[in-house]
Structure 1
């Protein structure tokens, strides 16, 4: 609160129902929410680090798997969207192990082009091609998407940046080396139609 004689400084809103908030209160909240959104990269990095202690049994941790995926994408000359999508494609493993792809897609959807978000959302289904039959499952589950404009792109993602990223000897880049890519992507205006728009040349 301000000193006597000065205008009161708002520290928190007074309303208990959204409908009761004033224009001044929402003007007070807006920059706080913008800053919170701006800081999402730091929170994502914190969560990625937790993947280092998630599902075991493989040659690499889930964090290393994601680093391999993003490193391969970077070294192949992919753009920021694909590199970030590769880094975050399994970030949902801890909180949503049964639908981790959906959670990861929800995180990136406001910032990445439609193609990459679609790949992130359905990569787990496409990934089954490499192992599901060994567990009595349907390795061709991806075929339900046959004809989709991003089908081939998702096949390529899984082939080049996912199913081959469990190599304990691969020289992945360190997590912090991907910060510039993450910062550029998450500095974008959320839901910008110029970013999210379909890749029409692949649909026609």
Structure 2
């Protein structure tokens, strides 16, 4: 018989205070490994990827994040750029929203908003080829994050499919990912609801 501690219930509504205290205790190590799972998924995107592109999804992530870093972006924007397509594997048809939910508890509000909406903003570049509205993003033209999302797509996303680009290695971004996912989830000091920050440093 297993020596693992388990709850007493088979229906959540029957759980006791002690059951939920146990779950809270046992959840902590799992939560602490979130960054490892994120990095593992990025590595997987270097092996299993969407077909037809000149580079893998990992390469695309690294190029986007490298461009952000070289533009002088801060850690939230760099990690946002690195993980903006992290949802491709499990949710290719709504990967933008999936990716945003992965990072939302740990980054500023404006970074999560941009990642959540980058898919519709990217349609500017290709929507017409499918008969879609390439200007669908205009529905957000009065949103305070509109300009940042447009710049994110132009500077870091749509331009990062180049097999000749000298991107930084994943290892160079690992400390940033670990720092971000070590933050307290949904901390007001981190999320900074309503604050809109510059993508790049003034320099």
Q: Same fold (TM over 0.5)?
A: yes
RMSD: 1.7
SS of corresponding position for 1:110? helix
Alignment partner, residue 123 of structure 2: 128
Q: Which moved more, 1:12-21 or 1:189-198?
A: 12-21
C-alpha deviation, 1:199, in angstroms: 4.4
Q: Which has the higher contact order (CA 8 A, sep 6+)?
A: 2
Which whole-Å deviations, capped at 9, do the CAs of 1:46-91 have from their partners, x for residues lacking one? 1112212210111111110011001111111111111111111001
Q: Which residue of 1 aligns with 2:24?
A: 30
Deviates more, 1:129-138 or 1:192-201: 192-201
Inter-partner Cα distance in structure 1 for 2:42 and 2:161: 16
Query: Pick from 79, 90, 93: which aligns with 2:85?
Result: 90
Give the drift of 1:173. 1.3
Q: What are structure 1's unaligned runs of at least 5 residues?
A: 2-8
Structure 1 CA distance for aligned equivalents of residues 196 and 19 of structure 2 = 45
Normalising by structure 2, we get a TM-score of 0.90
Aligned to 2:174: 179
Query: 1:19 — aligned with what?
Result: 13
Q: 2:49 aligns with which of 44, 54, 65?
A: 54
Larger Rg: 1
**4+ runs of 1 displaced by more than 6 Å?**
none
Aligned counterparts, 1:29-178, within 5 A: 29-52=23-46, 53-178=48-173
Q: Please, which runs of 5 or more residues in structure 2 have no aligned partner? A: 198-203
